[in-house]
Structure 1
Amino acid sequence: MTEINSAPMIPRSFRTPVFAVAPMIDWTDRHYRFLARQLSAHALLYTEMIVAEAILRGDRARLLGFAPVEQPVALQLGGSDPRKMAEAARIGADFGYSEINMNVGCPSDRVQSGTFGACLMRDPQLVADCVAAMKAAVNIPVTVKCRLGVDDQAPELALRDLVARITAAGADAVWVHARKAWLQGLSPKENRDIPPLDYGLVHRLKSEYPHVFIGINGGLATLNQAVDELNQDPALDGVMLGRAAYHDSAMLTAVDGFFPHPLTGAAATGHDPSDFTAGGHRRSLDFWAGVRDAMMGHAAGHIAAGGRLIHVTRHMVGLFQGWPGARRFRQILSADATKPGAGPDVIAAAFEAVFAAAADARQAAE
């Protein structure tokens, strides 16, 4: 096993602590990322996992295209062939992504059949070979997102072995989903919840690798919980939320108050955590009017290019959880956005339902 002192220093391109939204298949597409960027300038965003082979053989503009406003955005790759991973990473870097991330955590049947994702926990040297090949191909950070282990592996041994090898190969950061994955016996959905969390192992890993970026993922449900996790271990470099940040995406409006920009180092605005307890991440109606206008413009461009409104609005349904008018907001987006010829006016109507309910609530309180 590689000695700890061979690990690289934290790269200058990372400013810690980092808040990241996890890569999620079918969810973190370019339309979601455009929405997320309207809510937070400082959150690090990830693409869905894109298979390296698809990039080499497929429509690269469709697979990799993104709007500059989405930055900072990282490309997550799936694969296990070092040569193909290196070429896909080079192509991704040419498209302008700020980071290349290797998926060593997805437990789905599809990735198992392709010999990548979580099953690569069993072959840490192959992961290291992929990292080394990608590092040689690009000048941006190359990172890994992994599990604690798979099936009958001992997490203390499996995780440490992987991290020792990939950091020796030059990995710039390791994001750890703090659960094992059971490739036999549990579905991908069950693998997100049933294997027990072990944050303590991630904390111990960070103490052993003080000069390596170590971020934690898995089971974090609120921004306050994420901040608390960092407060308990200030050495940790980042927190990553997935489904919670997607389903209650308004929490992203508070991220910039706690976290610096991961690339520029722009300081957090320094809000008190008490400002963001249940429902406290609400912003002014003027702010939300700006979000509305941005999403209407984005939707108009997508429709003009041959897309459908629902491709955009399906990511917006969770915006106003707990707000007056939220139910009507969801109804309008869910029903009207699927109709033939639906356009950006549907977004305007949905937001107006929330604005009207907010005005009624204020009047009632006076």
Structure 2
Amino acid sequence: MTDQPDRASPPDAEPTRSGAPWRLSVAPMMDWTDRHCRYFHRLLSPHARLYTEMVTSAALAHGDPARLLRHSAFEQPVALQLGGSDPAELAAAARLGEAAGYVEINLNVGCPSDRVQSGRFGACLMREPALVADCVVAMRAAVAIPVTVKCRIGVDEQDDYHDLQQFTERMVGAGVETLIVHARKAWLKGLSPKENREVPPLNYRRVYQLKQDFPQLCIVINGGITSEEAVEEHLRHVDGVMLGRAAYHDPYVLARVEHRLYGEPLPERDAVIERLLPYIEAELAAGTALKHITRHLLGLYQGLPGARGFRRVLSERAHRNDAGVEVIRAALEQRHAPAAAA
């Protein structure tokens, strides 16, 4: 299920603190963080822990695990996020993930969409901490790799720190050693998933308090973090920072964070594209449509002259059935001719 790497895989983060492997990560994002996106992000960030889109345990039980779990070894370290609420089914899914080569199994207890709620998983599970604990125990018994949980700070009227504290106690009791916390509560009724990422106010201090109350726990903070300066500030209070939409819409932020945290040299954006071209050519030869890869590149030149022309060429030409790497090169040419792109 794991493709062969075309070069050496990047190293894990150096163990400078207990939460080092989770010091920097990119959030699991539905319809965004597929294997093409992760390959691209790895070119920008040698150290970040990458996450799959959420895969349901039911899909793995009744679908095609080889297709659902496919990834390149170059993406490592990469974690599999699972959605579900049946302990036995999740345990079986975790075993498949470990066998496929993922370094972590993450349980989604934060997604607020109606579809997820109807399947009794995601953020609605914060109301059932005993069930979540049972799921964690079953998965930990099934695999040797870490089992982590990603949650919100609250859900609906359950919005008191004491509730989050009790939920965390349950997770610790189940053996969780790393908790990823989106610093917003979720409204299960009345807000769309998009609104749930924007409307409920951020409460970083509540996550900081969680770290103070559970010092043995690796706490990773997520939500509204957009810059390398913000990453550094959060790392004064918690063990790790997970970037979400910022890493997708402005992917070069990953390179800037790498430079700030690890001293990695800032790569030229054009050079990143050139390094991606062999991967694109191999995927095209295997039958992948160019548009499935280029959609992840649109924000690379965010804020720079020529960015609009670069996006326009990719948006207009990559969807064609015969589109190849010449479309990428044309987009780069347009990027360097900003006057013509206006």
Q: What TM-score, normalized to structure 2?
A: 0.90
Contact residue 299 and residue 309 of structure 1 kept, 8 A: yes
- Which one scores higher on RCO, CA 8 angstroms, separation ≥ 6? 1
Contact residue 179 and residue 198 of structure 1 kept, 8 A: yes
Q: Distance in 2 between matches of 1:34 and 1:270?
A: 18
Question: What does 1:1-366 align with in structure 2 at a 5 Å threshold?
Answer: 14-15=19-20, 18-231=23-236, 233=237, 236-259=238-261, 268-269=262-263, 283=266, 287-355=268-336
Q: Distance in 1 between matches of 2:21 and 2:109?
A: 23
Letter in structure 2 aligned against 1:24: M
Q: Which runs of 5+ in 2 are unaligned?
A: 1-14
Contact residue 19 and residue 239 of structure 2 kept, 8 A: no
Contact residue 73 and residue 97 of structure 1 kept, 8 A: yes
For the aligned residue pairs, the C-alpha RMSD in angstroms reads 1.9
Letter in structure 2 aligned against 1:35: F
Contact residue 43 and residue 255 of structure 1 kept, 8 A: no
The Cα of 1:303 is off from its aligned counterpart by: 1.8
Contact residue 121 and residue 158 of structure 1 kept, 8 A: no
Letter in structure 1 aligned against 2:240: G
CA gap 1:18/1:95 in 2 versus in 1, 3 angstroms: same
The Cα of 1:269 is off from its aligned counterpart by: 1.7
Q: Alpha-carbon deviations, 1:93-151, whole Å to 9, x = none?
A: 01000111000000001110000000000000111111111111111111000011111
Q: Alpha-carbon deviations, 1:22-80, whole Å to 9, x = none?
A: 11000000010010001110111100000011012111121101000001111000000
Contact residue 211 and residue 217 of structure 2 kept, 8 A: yes
Q: Alpha-carbon deviations, 1:298-354, whole Å to 9, x = none?
A: 222222222200000000000001212111111111111012200011112212333
CA gap 1:326/1:206 in 2 versus in 1, 3 angstroms: same
User: Displaced runs of 4+ in structure 1, greater than 4 A?
Assistant: 355-358
Contact residue 151 and residue 183 of structure 1 kept, 8 A: yes
Contact residue 91 and residue 142 of structure 2 kept, 8 A: yes
Q: Distance in 1 between matches of 2:321 and 2:264?
A: 45
Q: Distance in 2 between matches of 1:133 and 1:17?
A: 23
Q: Distance in 2 between matches of 1:152 and 1:227?
A: 32
CA gap 1:56/1:13 in 2 versus in 1, 3 angstroms: farther
Letter in structure 1 aligned against 2:221: I
